[in-house]
Amino acid sequence: MSKGAVTREAILDTASSLARSVGLGGITIGTLASRAELSKSGLYAHFKSKESLQVQVLEHTRARFVAQVVAPALTAPRGEARIRALFENWLAWDQQPGGCLFVAASSELDDQPGPVRERLVRDQQDWLDSIAEVFRTGVSEGQFSGSPEQFAFELDGVMLSHHMSSRLLADGLSVERARVAFEALLDRARV
């Protein structure tokens, strides 16, 4: 990577971390300049506008999500092992400081039309499709039956409930409850 690309990645890491605690809407060229100790004019040169910055934060976070959650799961055997890996990778992802940015951004942006929301909608749809696709490998291996989209809807619900219980309520039983819910989903899916 060029020096400019390295700087840009480092700034986007800082911005992604800031967004996880204050929300994507809290990420402006100004707040980021003071956090990253960079000049506002330098940040404008990299990111042009607040909206473009927020879209790039989502794209950057999505690349990390794919690398940490989705891609490693795809190396597990098709079907149950792969869906377990996807779930466990997501639990680890949500334990980073501030939790999963996509969960927070979903309620933040659902009433804010524009390019940032459009980017997020595609990301969320791709995530649900990824879960459904991994479920489908279990169907074609003869392990699972049922609707992959219904499974994705319900597994996402388990993750959202865990995010809320562990982060807002600091419920120490949350991970255990999420795993019990996950096993019940698998039991129902098994042929």
Residues that bind its own copies (CB under 8 A): 20-23, 25, 98-99, 103-104, 106-112, 117, 120-121, 124-125, 128, 149-150, 153-154, 156-165, 167-169, 173-174, 177-178, 180-181, 184, 188
- Which amino acid, 50? K
Q: Bridge-partner residues for 19, per DSSP? A: none
Is the CB of 63 or the CB of 180 nearer to its own copies? 180
The 3 state secondary structure assigned to the chain is: CCHHHHHHHHHHHHHHHHHHHHCHHHCCHHHHHHHHCCCHHHHHHHHCCHHHHHHHHHHHHHHHHHHHHHHHHCCCCCCHHHHHHHHHHHHHHHCCCCCCHHHHHHHHHCCCCCHHHHHHHHHHHHHHHHHHHHHHHHHHCCCECCCHHHHHHHHHHHHHHHHHHHHCCCCCCHHHHHHHHHHHHHHHHEC
Residue with tokens 């933040």: 108
Residue 2 CB, nearest distance to its own copies (Å)?
Answer: 34
